Amino acid sequence: MRERPTHVSDAAVLEAVRAAWDPEIDEVEHLPVGFGAHHWAAVAGGERRLFVTLDGLEPRHSPESLEGAYAGAAALFGAGLEFVVPCLRAVPGTCTIPLGKGALSATGWVDGTVAGTGDLPDRGAAEANALVLERLHAATPPSGLPTWRPLVGDAFAAVLERRTSSTWDCGPYAERARRALRERLDAIERWVGAYHRLSDEAGARPWVATHGEPHTRNQLVADDDGVLLVDWESLKLAPRERDLRTLVDSGHADLARPHWPMIEMFDLEWRLDEISQYAAWFAAPHTGDTNDDVAIGGLLSELERPEWSHPSA
């Protein structure tokens, strides 16, 4: 997130990091990176030592599902997947500890550069990403992994129609968001129907450990370690196409070799989940800060981007 959380102070983060991971940490520096979680660099003696994350919980996570995802990533790393950047165990022996309204975790600091450019990988980055994902999907899934299920209910369009039927006056972007949603209700209803028809087919597909968001912002290229995958909060058992959508969208479907109905389903899932989260965001009080600027752009992008189509169509 671009702004600090309002419910947790840097001092509280510093105290928690010292107690759970490293008593030598002498300061934490909020990092305006990513979107959806808050991040800090934990510093000892002027050197960045830990990358600290505060994930929100409901409705996206529970404490158990978040711990299961991060613990699963640590198990995958322990099983030989060196491209996994795992969470470090905290003093209680868990990967996460409660803090404020969320759960705090930490990884070792990694110096690296983001793979490719933007969200979609260039050919070289895509080839490296495909090799990493092939190894991940071939690995034995650790016990306790969260299991994928549809993120948006089949009544979402009807609920959204009711929620947007009267004016929103809770912040500077509220009415803009509400009108944009109203204009696309027919499309949203169609997307929800297609998503749930396809989700009924998912049970017949092979399920593997999937990262969930292996786009370039979650890939680091380190000098000694090659391509590394970070941000494992979305690790779940699911059809492999959950991870292959980005390769397909960037024009590298030959590297993915996907089952196309599942690619369509996860494309719809991404769109509908983003719309759902941003609708809740702008129906609630907001101030028009940098996070809100990013969020309104994300909402409009998902409402307006072209419909998914098979690459050969």
Better pLDDT: 128 or 141: 141
Q: How does pLDDT run across 183-241, given as a tens digit for each residue?
A: 999 999 999 999 999 999 999 999 999 999 998 889 888 877 688 999 999 999 999 99
Choose among 246, 236, 248: nearest CA to 210. Answer: 236
Q: What is the reported pTM?
A: 0.93
Q: How does pLDDT run across 129-165, given as a tens digit for each residue?
A: 999 999 999 999 999 999 999 999 999 999 999 999 9
Peptide linkage before 59 cis (omega within 30 of 0): yes
The predicted structure's pLDDT at residue 96: 97
The residue type of 204 is: A
In whole angstroms, give the CA distance from residue 189 to residue 216. Answer: 31
The predicted structure's pLDDT at residue 36: 81
Tell me the mean pLDDT in the region 172-192: 98
Tell me the mean pLDDT in the region 87-104: 96
Residue 34 pLDDT > 90: no
The residue type of 47 is: E
What is the residue-wise DSSP string for the chain?
Answer: --S--SSS-HHHHHHHHHHHT-TT--EEEEE--SSSEEEEEEEETTEEEEEEEEEE-TTT--HHHHHHHHHHHHHHHHTT-TTB-PBPPPTTSSS-EEETTEEEEEEE----EESSSSSS--HHHHHHHHHHHHHHHHSPPPTT--B---SS-TTHHHHHHHHTSS---SSTTHHHHHHHHHHTHHHHHHHHHHHHHHHHHHTTS-EEEE-S--SGGGEEEETTTEEEE---TT-EEEETHHHHHHHHHTT-HHHH---HHHHHHHHHHHHHHHHHHHHHHHTS-----HHHHHHHHHHHHHHHSPPP--TT-
Would you place residue 120 in the very low, low, confident or very high pLDDT band (cuts 50, 70, 90)? low
Choose among 15, 19, 39, 36: nearest CA to 27. Answer: 15
Burial (CB count within 10 angstroms: exposed 0-12, middle 13-18, buried 19+), residue 261: middle
Q: How does pLDDT run across 39-51, given as a tens digit for each residue?
A: 999 999 999 999 9
Please name each of the domains of the chain with its CATH number.
1-109 (3.30.200.20), 145-214+235-305 (no CATH)
In whole angstroms, give the CA distance from residue 35 to residue 33. Answer: 7
The predicted structure's pLDDT at residue 54: 96
In whole angstroms, give the CA distance from residue 34 to residue 114. Answer: 12
The predicted structure's pLDDT at residue 113: 83
The residue type of 118 is: G
Would you place residue 313 in the very low, low, confident or very high pLDDT band (cuts 50, 70, 90)? low
Q: What is the mean pLDDT of the chain?
A: 93
- Residue 301 contacts residue 15 (beta carbons within 8 Å): no
Residue 117 pLDDT > 60: no
β-pairing, 236-239 vs 37-44, is unpaired
Q: How does pLDDT run across 232-281, given as a tens digit for each residue?
A: 999 999 999 999 998 998 889 999 999 999 999 999 999 999 999 999 99
Q: How does pLDDT run across 279-295, given as a tens digit for each residue?
A: 999 999 999 999 999 99
The residue type of 270 is: W
In whole angstroms, give the CA distance from residue 133 to residue 210. Answer: 8
In whole angstroms, give the CA distance from residue 192 to residue 196. Answer: 6
The predicted structure's pLDDT at residue 112: 84
CA atoms within 13 A on the CB side of 272: 27
In whole angstroms, give the CA distance from residue 266 to residue 268. Answer: 5
Burial (CB count within 10 angstroms: exposed 0-12, middle 13-18, buried 19+), residue 169: exposed
The predicted structure's pLDDT at residue 125: 82
Strand partners, 107: 51, 87
Would you place residue 35 in the very low, low, confident or very high pLDDT band (cuts 50, 70, 90)? confident
